[in-house]
Amino acid sequence: MLTYQDARKRIVVETSQNRRTLVTVEKSVWEALGDTLAQEIRNDREYPPFDRSTRDGYAVRTADASEGAVLKCVGEIKAGDTVTNALAVGTCVQIMTGAAVPDGADAVVMIEFTQRDGDKVTFQRPTLAWQNIVKRGSEAVGGESALRPGSRLGFAELAVAAQVGAAKLVCAKRPRVAILSTGDEIVDVKEKPSRFQIRNSNSVSLAAQVRLAGAEPVLLGNALDQVEDLSSKIQRGLREDILVMSGGVSMGKYDLVETVLKSLGTEFYFDAVAIRPGKPAVFGRCRETFVFGLPGNPVSTMVTFQLFVVPAIDVVGGTRPRPLPLLEATLCKTLHEKPGLTHFLPGRFELTGISPEVHPLNWQGSGDIGALTQANCFIVVPADRHDIPAGEKVSVLPRLDVI
């Protein structure tokens, strides 16, 4: 059986080799958070465009401003001021953060290390050439690439786009992810279930996870555990970039998802992964669509989505798959798990002292979504570990939405 790491690799390989051509859309720089850039953005000029002071203080010639030197202050330069005059030998000029350093000056001395008396400034420390100045062109060269196609647009990337004047950005259209739950016992959220029915929470959590991952959910409702209904709803899903299903992939007599996918000509890349929860997870391609069959227990659905569907959304959406953001924390309670599978257990990650700690939470297994509302991470218990004593360092997988 594949490890979850190998399953992720397989997903990245298959989606990279077989993805459809990207469709692009134009987005305002204000609206493009989480989008993937589909064009090159170039620097419209060099950055900084002038020698920039990084401190409030005095612009000086290094040779004039040795420790104990006294210089005459001949003016002031604010951020945004047009600077034309060179600094005369034996003088200094007051300068603010973000202002242009005048020609002739080659250092800025922080105001904290000076003393002023009228127009006389005394320098209290030795001055080093180019201290507190970012030289013109040292951050970015005019005409060179500022952002490459495939960049995921976070706040820093959007700031760079804004800096170079790219108010409109050509982005990849967000992948469309069809969501189909399965099960005879499932009723819509708006309905009142009978005693033996349950509401469709998986479609809601999946839609939320799809959005968080940067894709667009397409809701297909629920399919009964019957070949005809499954087949027609799956075929509807095959119009989208990715189809994610929940339930119907275990060993039960009415777990028909794989059978129906097979009859529709699906090529399967895996149909089990050595994890718990989530072992029966299925990944394949049917016609042009990547298909995931995730186990229906709500926590299994959530874990397998984060492990497996997120990298597929990344690649299909034209960007590099983000790495799993595993953190390390000290375990607060001894764990006993059966070896053989990598376990993902709900935990509470906290940083109250010097180093992070993680508290395992009580839960009733992978149907217990209530327990997950207390959790902000999953504790990753490696397949070869039986007991992990309290005090040992463990890996934790943060929940995508709360850490």
Residues that bind ligand AMP (CB under 6 A): 181, 183, 185-186, 198, 200-203, 246-248, 250, 252, 295-298, 367
Closer Cβ to ligand AMP, 111 or 219, answer by number: 219
Distance CA 196, CA 328 (A): 41
Stretch that binds Mg ion, among 25-33, 50-58, 231-239, 246-254 (CB under 5 A): 246-254
Instruction: Tell me how far, at minimum, the Cβ of 400 lies from ligand AMP, in Å.
Output: 19
Q: What share of the chain is helix, strand, coil (3-state, %, to 5)?
A: 20, 30, 45
Given the structure tokens 């299925």, which residue do they identify? 282
Residue 247: left if φ>0, alpha if ψ -120 to 50, beta else—which one?
A: left
CB of 182 to Mg ion, least distance (A): 6
CB distance 77 to 93 below 8 Å: yes
**Distance between CA atoms of residues 362 and 367, nearest Å:** 13
Q: Tell me which amino acid residue 277 is.
A: P
**Among residues 149, 217, 237, 247, which is the contact residue for Mg ion, using CB under 5 A?**
247
Min dist CB 254 to ligand AMP, Å, is: 8
- Using CB under 5 A, count the residues that bind Mg ion: 4
Among left, alpha and beta (phi > 0; psi -120 to 50; other), residue 49 is: alpha
* Rounded Cα distance, 229 and 159, in Å: 48
- How many CB atoms neighbour CB 175 within 10 A? 27
Which of ligand AMP, Mg ion, none lies near 200, with the C-beta cut-off 5 to 8 A by kind? ligand AMP
Cα–Cα distance, 315 to 16 (Å, whole number): 6
- Least Å distance, CB 192 to ligand AMP, is 15
Residues 271 and 264: their CA atoms lie apart, in Å, by 16
| Smallest distance from ligand AMP to CB 320, Å | 31
Would you give the DSSP letter of residue 66? -
Return the number of other C-beta atoms located less than 10 Å from residue 347's C-beta: 28
List Cα–Cα distances, 363 to 161, 360, 370, in angstroms.
46, 9, 8
At its nearest, how many Å lie between Mg ion and the CB of residue 302? 16
Closest to ligand AMP by CB, 114 vs 200, is 200
202 binds, among Mg ion, ligand AMP, none (CB under 5 to 8 A by kind): ligand AMP
| Residue number, 57 or 247, with CB nearest to ligand AMP | 247
Q: Which of residues 268-297 bind Mg ion (CB under 5 A)?
A: 296
In the complex with ligand AMP, the residue whose CB is nearer, 266 or 366, is 366
Pick from 57, 102, 149, 183: which binds Mg ion (CB under 5 A)?
A: 183
Comparison of 253 and 336: residue with beta carbon closer to ligand AMP: 253
Using the minimum distance from each CB to ligand AMP, give the nearer residue, 250 or 330: 250
Q: Which CB, 70 or 219, lies closer to ligand AMP? A: 219
Least distance to ligand AMP, CB of residue 370, Å = 13
The verdict on 217 binding Mg ion (CB under 5 A) reads no
The beta-strand segments (E) located in 1-63 are: 24-28, 41-42, 52-53, 57-60
Closest CB to ligand AMP among 43 and 200? 200
Task: Say which residues have a Cβ less than 8 Å from residue 18's Cβ, sequence separation at least 6.
Answer: 285, 290
The rounded Cα 321 to chain-centroid distance in angstroms is 10
Min separation Cβ 150 and ligand AMP, Å: 34
Q: Among ligand AMP, Mg ion, none, what does residue 36 contact (CB within 5–8 Å per kind)?
A: none
Q: Which residues bind Mg ion (CB under 5 A)?
A: 183, 247-248, 296
